[in-house]
Structure 1
Amino acid sequence: MTTFPGTTRAETISGIPVSVDIRTALPRRELAPLLDDAFAWLRWVDETFNPVHEDSQIGRLNRGRTIEQIPELVEVLHRCDELSERTGGWFEARINGVIDPSGYIKGWALERLSRALTNAGAVDHRLDAGGDVRLRGSAAPGRPWRSAVRDPRSGLVRRTVAAHDLAIATSGGAPVLNPRTGGRQAGLRSVTVLGPDLGVADAYATAMYAMGPVLARRFAVELAESEPYQALIIGGDGREVATPGFAAYAVSEDRLVG
């Protein structure tokens, strides 16, 4: 099989494994700076938006300290408010007086990075940050990318999807708060959302996980009917339910259930 030359790099950012795999046939002198810039961007996002860091802009905001006028900060907070409204408050970046955009920021950062790589000519790439994946272009000439959808707790492969342009976000690997109670939600094993924008898919997956089994299934159906996002929901008992459009991305050996 013909392959692309490309290059790949993996680093750990704030405890999360991150990989950037570029397959576009660009000169080595161009690929190295692209990777340098990619990881510099992701580190900047972590330093700016991680609420655990006291000196991040979110950390300072939560402590009532002076913050910088950063356009990206305004953009993210505004988008989180829009997604909160769209999900009926189930995606919520402000709980108990604390701002935490973690359910959106990782996907947003990778989506922005994907667009930047495409604009720089690296149109064939796969980005992965802790299981949230952005696929664009081809893995090899004429061949789509393939990506496993794993149970974030057991690592079991639930599906394999193939696409030339797709965002894949999975919620359930880290604790998700129920915004109604402020406590951890535990009714589902995981929720995976496929769609065109990784930040939005990330938020929808977080919201559905927070909803619990019954509301999540209802919301997934309504979402698939109104927007280009499909969902795979894994219940606490391990049973799977997928919206019909999920099948369009599943490779032939997969079988939808639910």
Structure 2
Amino acid sequence: MTTFPGTARVEMVMGMPVSVDIRTALPARELTPLLDDAFAWLRWVDDTFSPVKEDSQIGRLNRGQTIKQIPELIEVLHRCDELGRHTDGWFEPRINGVTDPSGYIKGWALERLSRALVNAGAGDHRLNAGGDIRVRGSAAPGRRWRIGVRDPHTGLVRKVVHAHDLGLATSGGAPIVNPRTGKVQRGLGSVTVIGPDLGTADAYATAIYAMGPVLARGFATRLAESGPYETMLVLKDGQEVSTPGFAEYSGRHAQLAG
């Protein structure tokens, strides 16, 4: 049987280029439908959860119309509520009466896709959607993935993270509202969170950015002390500071005080 040593595809989904890079050596007859199914899933997520599509379930919810009791919809809304409590309200998917799970849904969708690829036998892969990245397995036999942490404003790589199994989410490119004031937060350059679940990392990055620089430092430190999520902050002056565990993936640089 002829094998095809991995394949990759990029498509526009959710208004951004999304890439699926599979490195597991599978037959082409298996890889092609895997990629087809991957992007069909991501388009379904966009059609279901987009707050700007009138016929999406979130769009219908915001207009007070009947919504379908889709298990994934219920799961996402419940998880957003949990993350709101875990962040003392700084992750807030409902502002001014409008539900918008965008700070969680992209990471959640890639995390679900990553698990599906593992179950399908494609355990070596990299998924990338607008700064949210999920890697599993190896880029090549025995070789960790190299993940560039890009500045969302310039596109330049600020750090390179090395890992076999990790989710990485960066916030700061799109406007993020401070839920306490209702105004766009402008106190930080960007926030990157790494950890085992990309959806959770995505929500934490959104929440920490919304806090502004002072509260963000304290929350990021406590988050690292209590679990597996590490954070790098880029301040407005370009200085980078991170929790100690971030350096295990990316090398030495300034750390947040404990």
CA deviation string 1:91-113 (max 9, x = no partner): 00111100000000000000000
Q: Within 5 A, what are the aligned runs for 1:114-129?
A: 114-129=114-129
Q: Within 5 A, what are the aligned runs for 1:1-258?
A: 5-250=5-250, 254-258=251-255
Question: For 2:245 and 2:144, how far apart are their aligned partners in 1?
Answer: 18
Unaligned 5+ segments in structure 2 are none
Q: Which moved more, 1:7-16 or 1:216-225?
A: 7-16
Seq. identity, %: 75
Q: SS at the partner of 1:19?
A: strand
CA deviation string 1:21-79 (max 9, x = no partner): 00001110000000000000000000000000011000000000111110000000000
- AA partner of residue 115 (structure 2): R
Q: SS at the partner of 2:183?
A: coil
In the superposition, the TM-score normalised over structure 2's length comes to 0.96
Question: For 1:38 and 1:139, how far apart are their aligned partners in 2?
Answer: 19
Cα displacement (A) at 1:163: 0.4
Q: SS at the partner of 1:186?
A: coil
Question: For 1:15 and 1:51, how far apart are their aligned partners in 2?
Answer: 13
In the superposition, the TM-score normalised over structure 1's length comes to 0.96
Q: SS at the partner of 1:139?
A: coil
Cα displacement (A) at 1:181: 1.2
- AA partner of residue 197 (structure 1): D
Q: SS at the partner of 2:142?
A: coil
Q: SS at the partner of 1:249?
A: helix
Question: For 1:237 and 1:247, how far apart are their aligned partners in 2?
Answer: 21
Cα displacement (A) at 1:183: 1.2
Question: For 1:194 and 1:14, how far apart are their aligned partners in 2?
Answer: 22
Cα displacement (A) at 1:14: 2.8
Cα displacement (A) at 1:255: 3.7
- AA partner of residue 176 (structure 2): V
Cα displacement (A) at 1:247: 0.8
Question: For 1:249 and 1:255, how far apart are their aligned partners in 2?
Answer: 9
Question: For 1:158 and 1:26, how far apart are their aligned partners in 2?
Answer: 34
